[in-house]
Amino acid sequence: MRLSSFRFGVPMMIVAACGSAASGTESPTGDPTIQSGDPDDGSSATEGGASDTGSDGSASASASASASDDAEASSGDGPVPAGIACGTEFQHEGRTGCETVVEGIDVKFFPPPPGERVDRLAVYFHGDGAADYMDNWAFDPQILSWAEARGTMVVGVLSPAYYEDGTVAFGAAQPEHAEAVAVAIEAFIAAWQPEFADGTLYWATSGGSWFFSSSFIAHVGQRIPGVFVANCGGSGFSFGWAWDPMTDATTREKIPIYFNYGTQDFLAPGIIDSIAEYQGLGFAVDSLVHEGAMHCDHPIIEPTLEFWSRYVP
C-alpha cells in the first residue's frame, strides 16, 4: 500500500502513531498540548532496546573493519567496499531486502547489486507502532526506484525507544536514543563508504518526524548531516543542542528541512513551532501545508521525492 494514499493512524499514547502494529486502526487522540518524550514530564518515554535477533552488532563490526581495510577506496576508485552482511533476506516489491542488527539497532536495507557502489544513503524513521517498518509499506516502490536510479541505498531504522506499554516509538525517543541511532548510521557509512557521506537523505512520518526536530538534528545532525523531510510531525521544541548551528554555518547549511503537514493535524501546533525554532537558528526551512488535511492524510511520497530532487537531481 502506498504511503501517499494511506491514512496513517492518529496518535498512539500522546504523540503520533503511523499505524499501530497491533491493530492498524486509529487510536484515541491524546492531549495534543503534551509533548511525549519531554524529559520533564516524567511519564511515557522509557528506554528500551530493539528485539534481540541474536546479534550484538558483530555484523557491523566486521563490515566496518573490512571498510577500514578498503579506506583508500572512494567512488570509482579501488575495490568496492564490503558493506554490511545481509542478515535475514526478505522480498519486497520485486527486490531483496536485508534485516539485521547494526550496533544494537534493528535495521532494514536494500543493498545494491554485487559490484556496485553506494553514492549516498536514504534513511527512514517510522511512525509510532512501527507498522510501516514491520510490514515494509514505508519502502514505497517510488522511493526505491528513485533511489536506485541515483546510487542511493534505502535504510530503515527501528526505534530503540519504547513507551511504558511496550509500543516501539520514535515519539518516545530521547537524546541518548539519537546517539544510538547515529552510531548505527555511521556504521553504514563506514562500511559502504558513500561518496556523499555528508549528504544522507532522511525522511520520516509522524513520531519519526517528531524525533527529527526534538533530538536527532539537535544532538547528532552535525555528525551525519543531510536533507530532512519531516512528514506530519514536529516536536515544537528541541531537547537542547549538542552543537551550535548559529556558529557552525557550514554544517547548518548541509541540513535543509522540509515540513509536510495538514492544517488539521493534531501535531500542527508543534510543527509550526518547530519551523519557527529551526528558522530562528538559521536553517533553510521549507514547508508544504495541506489545507484541511488531518494527521498524515495527505501525500507523503511525492513531496518527499520532490524535495530530495532539489538536492539530488
Q: Are 34 and 41 in contact (CB under 8 A)?
A: yes
Distance of CA 134 to the CA centre of its chain: 14
Tell me the one-letter amino acid at 74.
S
Give the model's pLDDT for residue 27: 32
Beta strands 161-163; 45-47: pairing state: antiparallel
Counted residue by residue, the chain has a size of 313
**Cell numbers standing for residue 237:** 521544541
CB 201, CB 3: distance < 8 Å: no
> Structural domains in the chain?
3-31+63-71+81-311 (3.40.50.1820)
Report the candidate in 155, 204, 200 with the shortest Cα–Cα distance to residue 303.
204
Fill in the amino acid letter for 209.
S
Q: Which three cell numbers stand for residue 229?
A: 523531510
Which residues are within 8 A (CB) of 24 and not within 5 positions of it... i.e. 6 or more apart? 9, 131
| Residue type at 29 in one-letter notation | T
Which pLDDT score is estimated for 78? 78
Decide if 92 contacts 168 (C-beta within 8 A): no
Q: Which three cell numbers stand for residue 41?
A: 514530564
| Beta carbons within 10 angstroms of residue 94's beta carbon | 7
Say what the pLDDT of residue 77 is. 64
User: pLDDT tens string for the chain (313 positions)?
Assistant: 233 333 233 333 333 344 333 333 333 233 332 333 333 333 333 333 333 333 344 444 344 333 334 333 444 567 999 999 999 999 999 999 999 999 999 999 999 999 999 999 999 999 999 999 999 999 999 999 999 999 999 999 999 999 999 999 999 999 999 999 999 999 999 999 999 999 999 999 999 999 999 999 999 999 999 999 999 999 999 999 999 999 999 999 999 999 999 999 999 999 999 999 999 999 999 999 999 999 999 999 999 999 999 999 9
CB-based contacts of 87-94 (< 8 A; 24+ apart in sequence): 87/53, 87/55, 87/59, 88/53, 90/136, 92/136, 92/139, 93/139, 93/141, 93/144
Distance CA 104, CA 51 (A): 9
End-to-end CA distance of the chain: 26
- Find residue 203's DSSP bridge partners: 124, 229
Record the cell numbers describing residue 148, joined without a space.
Answer: 536506485
User: Under the phi-then-psi rule, with left for phi > 0, alpha for psi from -120 to 50, and beta for the rest, what region is 93?
Assistant: left
